[in-house]
Amino acid sequence: MKQQELTCIGCPLGCTVTVTTNDLPGPDGENILSVTGNTCPRGDSYARKEVTCPTRIVTSTVRVRGGTSPLVNVKTASAIPRDKIFDCMNAIKDVTVTAPVHIGDRILSNVAGTDVDVVAARNIPSAEV
Amino acid sequence: MKNHDLVIIGGGPAGLAAAVSAKDHGIDDIVIIERDKEPGGILNQCIHNGFGLHTFGEELTGPEYADRFICQTAARKITCQLNTMVMDLKAGPDFKTVTAINRKDGIFQIHAKAVILAMGCRERPRGALNIPGTRPAGIFSAGTAQRLVNMEGLMPGREVVILGSGDIGLIMARRMTLEGAHVSVVAELQPYSGGLKRNIVQCLNDFGIPLKLSHTVTDIEGTDRLCAVTIAQAGPDGRPVPGSETRYPCDTLLLSCGLIPENELTRGAGIRIDPVTQGPVVSDSLETSAEGIFACGNVLHVHDLVDYVSLEAAAAGKNAARYIRGGRSAAGGTIAIRPENGVRYTVPAFISPDGTDETVTVRFRVDRIYRNHTIAVYFDNTPVSRRKRPVMAPGEMEQVILDRKKLAASPDLHSVTIRIEAPA
Ligand SMILES: Cc1cc2nc3c(=O)[nH]c(=O)nc-3n(C[C@H](O)[C@H](O)[C@H](O)COP(=O)(O)OP(=O)(O)OC[C@H]3O[C@@H](n4cnc5c(N)ncnc54)[C@H](O)[C@@H]3O)c2cc1C
Ligand code: SF4
């Protein structure tokens, strides 16, 4: 048996939720025996997701050639598994794009094998020459 | 000399939303003046997601949120004069004089029927923080570091300590970590963090960065470049507890110690400033003590969510439009709003009894964490409403919505009191 303490981020109350799992890998990685400490059901589903497959949207920047700004900020189009964050950062690190860049332009597809694209989150016009 | 109906000072989210709303309420001659090379304000450096959940129902990054409003102003053909800084503002009953400067026109003046202040806020400077030790390079405000990393592509350093756990500090802890730096600790003087729970979990816990509450920096070492800081526990009197010191070798210290509204222009115009918010004192129409000059966004009081900035700014735009179309400012008596017992301030500070909106939204902050307490509202000494809140914290803005009909039903009303009360 293993116990994990999490802070629910569903609302400002920030309940400390305890999740008890057994060591047998279940269909989602681990088997959850109990979830306690949550004040409302949202805390229960949040904790189950955090323990079995936590995901995050990753935001960063990539370099731009010929734009009005040296960088454009980018984001994963949807949340990716938390343990892929650094793989995603490594994949983004060496990318350079050419201006103009528009919000939603695809910067990288299927980043770090997550099936999720990295897209531009800002418009960068071409620099006037 | 130029003439305009409405001049908006600042092209951040507040200025943009105010312009859109004024236009939609019938004002065509509007100019936004922005000192930066592009509109969007501080949002341009906030590349993380989480903006606009309330307004758009999706999690946008700062620049995407700004772009929604930039598109709305462009669609309405509202002029935004960039690279132009407002240097002086003079109040007056018939017109206000705005003095601005830019490279092309030099110094010029505009006469405006109404002005909206939307200059935002800036970070509390380090000099105001009284940290002992030397003054080497490597000490940045968290917002400056945010700008360097996210807009210039420059890393301030590799071994980082952060003082202050406001949202910008937390966000920068994650950002520096993702860019390959090592953040050894975030120290917070208060016994609680001023940042959102979500940021504690996703910016610190995700990366195993420790948060030390009731801790402060007691020493800074380094001659040219910072080489270490010492952090100690702060006792109940705020003084360091002897023996609790830990020394952290580092090359960078980020300070995230709060924001102050940027009100030099406001003070120069002789407008009354609230000593608690450091922003102008406003009525329920967001009008300052100078008639026809309105305020919204972080220049009025520091907001944690940009969604509320946009809502407040829309109200300011609407009220400025009404004023320009000939509605005089509230004459005669006013109803004061009194913050008491745990309520630090309220915006607005008073209500004009002859206002026309159906409701009055009063925003405020509490002075510490309250669990299971009640927000109680009194008309003079008569209790009129009670709302129980499971938790209230200084970092999260609270609000009370007053019904204009109820206010009108008490013609002799002098004051509305808002208090935090313990469970019975
Ligand atoms: C460093 C920092 C980081 C932040 N991070 C977050 C975050 O992560 N999430 C969040 O929800 N909120 C964040 N905030 C709060 C956020 O700033 C507000 O929600 C929102 O941007 C406030 O909008 P505003 O238009 O009032 O101010 P700003 O966005 O600050 O815009 C004010 C504008 O006025 C211009 N201006 C000022 N003075 C003059 C002058 N004299 N002449 C011409 N132009 C002038 C400035 O250049 C600026 O563009 C942050 C604030 C700061 C300071
Ligand atoms: S469990 Fe419910 S009440 Fe507790 S923090 Fe999560 S959402 Fe809020």
Q: How far is B194 from chain A (nearest CA, A)?
A: 12
Measured in Å, residue B120 CA sits from the centre of ligand 1 at 4
Amino acid identity of A116? V
Q: Which residue has the higher pLDDT, B130 or A106?
A: A106
| Interface predicted TM-score (ipTM) | 0.89
Identify which of A7, A14, A121 has the shortest CB distance to residue B63.
A121
User: Would you state the structure tokens that stand for residue B79, as one six-digit string?
Assistant: 């002029």
Measured in Å, residue B169 CA sits from the centre of ligand 2 at 24
Q: Which residue has the higher pLDDT, A46 or A28?
A: A46
Cβ contact B279:B14 at 8 Å? no
- Does A39 sit within 8 Å of B390, measured CB to CB? yes
For residue B96, pLDDT over 80 is answered with yes
Nearest to B217 by CA among B248, B193, B191: B248
What confidence score (pLDDT) does residue B206 get? Answer: 94
What confidence score (pLDDT) does residue B223 get? Answer: 87
What confidence score (pLDDT) does residue A90 get? Answer: 95
Measured in Å, residue B196 CA sits from the centre of ligand 2 at 14
CA B345 vs CA A47, B44, B196: distances in Å? 36, 29, 21
Q: Pick the residue of A73, A78, A118, A128 with the most B CBs within 10 A to test the interface with B by mutation.
A: A73
If DSSP codes are grouped into helix, strand and coil, which group holds residue B183? Answer: strand
What is the mean pLDDT of the segment spanning B93-98? 91
Q: Which residue has the higher pLDDT, A54 or A24?
A: A54
Closest ligand 1 atom to Cα of B85 = 42
Measure the CA–CA gap between B314 and B157, rounded to whole angstroms.
40
Please tell me which residue of chain A has the smallest CA distance to B195.
Answer: A12
For residue B103, pLDDT over 90 is answered with yes
Choose the CATH number for A59-120 among 3.10.530.10, 3.40.640.10, 2.60.120.1360, 3.40.50.10420. 3.10.530.10
Burial category of A57 from C-beta neighbours within 10 Å (exposed 0-12, middle 13-18, buried 19 and up): middle
Q: Which residue has the higher pLDDT, B317 or B224?
A: B317
What average pLDDT is seen over chain B? 92
pTM of the predicted structure, to 2 decimals: 0.91
Q: Which residue has the higher pLDDT, B131 or B56?
A: B56
Q: Residue A23, Cβ neighbours under 10 Å: how many? A: 8
Q: How far is A27 from chain B (nearest CA, A)?
A: 24
Nearest CA to ligand 1 atom 14: B304
For residue B211, pLDDT over 80 is answered with yes
Looking at the DSSP assignment, which residues form a beta bridge with residue A106?
A119
For residue B128, pLDDT over 70 is answered with no
Please tell me which residue of chain A has the smallest CA distance to B149.
Answer: A61
For residue B229, pLDDT over 70 is answered with yes
User: What is the phi-psi region of residue B417: left when phi exceeds 0, alpha when psi lies from -120 to 50, beta otherwise?
Assistant: beta
- Does B63 sit within 8 Å of A61, measured CB to CB? no
What confidence score (pLDDT) does residue A9 get? Answer: 86
Please give the domain boundaries of chain B with CATH numbers for all domains: 1-123+259-331 (3.50.50.60), 125-257 (3.50.50.60), 332-424 (2.60.40)
**What residues of chain A lie within 8 A of the CB of B68, using their CB?**
none
